[in-house]
Amino acid sequence: MRLLSIASGSSGNCIYVGDDTTHILIDAGISGKRIEAGLNSIGVSGKDLDAVFVTHEHADHISGLGVLSRKYDVPIYSTRGTIAGISTAKSVGDIDGQLFQAIRKNENISVGSLMIQAIPISHDAAEPVCFKVTNGTSKVAVATDMGYYTDEIIENLKGLDALLLEANHDVNMVQVGPYPYYLKQRILGKKGHLSNENAGRLLSAIVHDGLKHVFLGHLSKENNHPELAHEAVRLEITMGDNPYQASDFDIRVADRNEPSGLIIV
């Protein structure tokens, strides 16, 4: 199975997951042109897409969804709450209602050779989820936009071969930064985003011998730095209650604007 972060950051998110026969996107929050270029970089085209799975209705996750759906008639899978949110987002334009496929939290959806599970998360959106994908032999997950993590999330993210995990912000940068108070509270709250340290703690709880690759994603442009996120997460693993060192794992930061290195598991 293959995982490619086409873009991951506070300004836009789009992740490819697939194998030789089935190709899906998790979110489409960048332009159709950039999505197509990212797919082309690994020999895939928009016409090869079997589905788009949408985590929630915020613009940085759906801004390219309308163009993509109108060009390729690709099915769109998401929760009913998210579908309602997309339907009222004027920025995406008209989307054929028949393309929407409603899914339930914790439901497993079969698309071609892939099985996709929607895992509920806490975020200030209608009915947000993150996704775990397996083809029967390998498992990957894309887990971003959560204010905090639960025991349920930990259990669902165990046993992965690869993971793209949110490391959105440095708490101190948020606290002393120029954002207004209400926005700082949103980011730091239970329906906001994972800090670097909390991302490291979550990762520390799920690391195992078979975890081959980790991307840190959805970094804030204003409240984080790639080097800061990388080192904070690594420190939490090394100092955490587990038998591992951060150097035991391939941990990278996903680029916010360009495709990051293709992962094959």
Residue of 164, 144, 231 lying closest to 196 (CA atoms): 231
186 SS3 class: helix
pLDDT in tens, 111-131: 999 999 999 999 999 999 999
pLDDT in tens, 54-98: 999 999 999 999 999 999 999 999 999 999 999 999 889 999 999
Return the pLDDT at 25: 98
Domains of the chain: 2-264 (3.60.15.10)
Return the pLDDT at 189: 97
Mean pLDDT of 32-55: 98
Return the pLDDT at 12: 97
Return the pLDDT at 122: 97
DSSP class per residue in 198-261: HHHHHHHHH--TT--EEEEE---SSS--HHHHHHHHHHHHHHSSSS--GGGSEEEEPPSSSPPP
- pTM beyond cutoff 0.95: yes
